[in-house]
Structure 1
């Protein structure tokens, strides 16, 4: 028998404040049509004043626990993917651990920007396969509205806040592609491309900074690298795109999502798309989309799902799993 990390539950949380594209028209030179045509985004959610990344993460975690029929102390570990933690330390994960009333196990953060959830999911899979943990909650949570330059129309209209959570549980499989659970992963990074997507501040510079992005360069790298990492992961287990039921990509830009699907030879009818409602929520976007996809009735037990993401670093990767 082969040990597999199987999805036990999923959930998400979005802040109450919904910000339509039209709200930006009063402060910067832009329009609803301009934003939609370039990104596919129609609206996004912004955290309320005083509402933190860990607050969002706790709400998403509670939803995932309810979906799984579990209590917080049934978990062995929490991994949080975020680039916008509440504090320099302690980790957002330990704050969420406390907020859930979880008094055992361990918790830590992973930082790979928009690819963070894929990196965290891969780490959770490793913990389960090694026997370090039997149940791991993986959370993507972000408050990117806190690092926006509101005068930069090329970035401030693209991002939103939110959180998504997924619980993995150790279960036995037969060691074939028919098993439920994570079947393959692929992680990559290349620090030479730092300057095309970064925040110009941080602890050692004693400033918070703002997000900076060279949009055309990110677009060029995204389509190529996302399709490549998905094929690499599928190749590891002898599967092809034809066997994929759903792509659940990082929700950054509708044109990138369409371009990646085309490069993989898959129709948009097999892609879960939420970017129009959430904007780019960085590490939260994939778990948000997984949760929404399940709620919509798109993702069902037994479906083969490919998640892939690229973010600052550059860092990119993919996970193939059977739901």
Structure 2
């Protein structure tokens, strides 16, 4: 059967590492306060010369190197971001040009923290329909640009970064590698719980991130546990069959609560929120790349990707590495 297979991954982080102690010098907070509530110890913040596009380009280059391909082998770029370089053109086209590509489709998807799963699903659909054969799927963010640095309840939670997959069409056996099942959801009724208070057609400026953390936590745990069960049912697996869960790195408490709801040990959950904080659409591919490079995710492993973000949007993808 023809299936969309992940053949490479890559990631990129800004040069500037910011610890909780560093933040405490500028914001009314402390290392203890941040660790206890989020599990975060540090994050990376983009400098003036680093953008969503430059981080995305670096992650894409690393993914192509890992996959053993070049831009000449690529015929699609899908980039998930809520912090594009400009309102338009799409940051994906900036990445395409920086990589030396031309002519093939390149576009952005905005679904906030779930964006990478939406982008991966779009690439999967285009590959299975024959519209593309090999794609770069990227999640990249510079959330530091939209944070209110006087709001300690939000500014300590986020960081910048990028992650990328190379995915391609392959004829595989039923138990072979590739994307096995995906479920995506959205519910705009909760758009006032996690949002940015600006935009081109409303305020005319970028705005700042606003969040009602307690309500977001409650929805996140319930929605993520439900969508994981949906994907497993579609693919014909049980929670115990999963080798690794690669979740959106929002908060250590959400990761733990979701794992407990599914009866999964935390030893099976890839956790990078302590090192990177919440990098929104970048967090799933960034965490996957870390686990692949350190040897945790191996060929043949059954891996669940999951995320929930503003909108609300949420989803999950089951794949065999």
Same fold (TM over 0.5): yes
1:268, CA displacement in angstroms?
Answer: 0.7
Equivalent position to 1:238, from 219, 236, 239: 236
Equivalent position to 1:192, from 173, 189, 204: 189
- CA distance in 2 between partners of 1:60 and 1:237 (Å): 30
- CA distance in 1 between partners of 2:183 and 2:254 (Å): 19
1:113 aligns with 2:124: no
1:255 aligns with 2:244: no
- CA distance in 1 between partners of 2:252 and 2:297 (Å): 20
Equivalent residues of 1:72, 1:100 under 8 A apart: yes
TM-score by length of 2: 0.99
CA RMSD of aligned residues (A): 0.7
- CA distance in 1 between partners of 2:72 and 2:227 (Å): 35
Q: What is aligned with 2:177?
A: 180
- CA distance in 1 between partners of 2:43 and 2:148 (Å): 16
Q: What is aligned with 2:227?
A: 229
- CA distance in 2 between partners of 1:111 and 1:250 (Å): 16
1:202 aligns with 2:206: no
- CA distance in 2 between partners of 1:29 and 1:47 (Å): 22
Give the total of aligned pairs.
Answer: 320
1:24, CA displacement in angstroms?
Answer: 1.8
Deviations, residues 48-72 of structure 1 (Å, cap 9, x unaligned): 1131100000000000010011001
- CA distance in 1 between partners of 2:299 and 2:310 (Å): 32
Q: What is aligned with 1:165?
A: 164
- CA distance in 2 between partners of 1:248 and 1:26 (Å): 32
1:44 aligns with 2:33: no
1:264, CA displacement in angstroms?
Answer: 1.2
3-state SS of paired residue (2:185): strand
3-state SS of paired residue (1:259): helix
TM-score by length of 1: 0.98
Runs of at least 5 residues in structure 2 that lack an aligned partner in the other structure = none
Q: What is aligned with 2:302?
A: 304
- CA distance in 2 between partners of 1:28 and 1:104 (Å): 46
1:215, CA displacement in angstroms?
Answer: 0.2
Q: What is aligned with 2:62?
A: 63
Deviations, residues 116-152 of structure 1 (Å, cap 9, x unaligned): 0011111111011111111011000000000000010
- CA distance in 2 between partners of 1:27 and 1:80 (Å): 33
3-state SS of paired residue (1:203): coil
- CA distance in 2 between partners of 1:57 and 1:104 (Å): 19
- CA distance in 2 between partners of 1:217 and 1:73 (Å): 46
1:220, CA displacement in angstroms?
Answer: 0.3
Equivalent residues of 1:181, 1:322 under 8 A apart: yes
3-state SS of paired residue (2:293): helix
Equivalent residues of 1:81, 1:112 under 8 A apart: yes
Equivalent residues of 1:73, 1:103 under 8 A apart: no
- CA distance in 2 between partners of 1:73 and 1:241 (Å): 39
- CA distance in 2 between partners of 1:34 and 1:43 (Å): 13
- CA distance in 1 between partners of 2:120 and 2:225 (Å): 19
Runs of at least 5 residues in structure 1 that lack an aligned partner in the other structure = none
Structural mapping, 1:270-285, within 5 Å: 270-285=268-283
1:9, CA displacement in angstroms?
Answer: 0.5
Deviations, residues 224-282 of structure 1 (Å, cap 9, x unaligned): 11111111011011111111000000001001001111111110111111000000000
3-state SS of paired residue (2:283): helix
Equivalent residues of 1:73, 1:104 under 8 A apart: no
Structural mapping, 1:26-41, within 5 Å: 26-41=25-40
- CA distance in 2 between partners of 1:190 and 1:138 (Å): 24
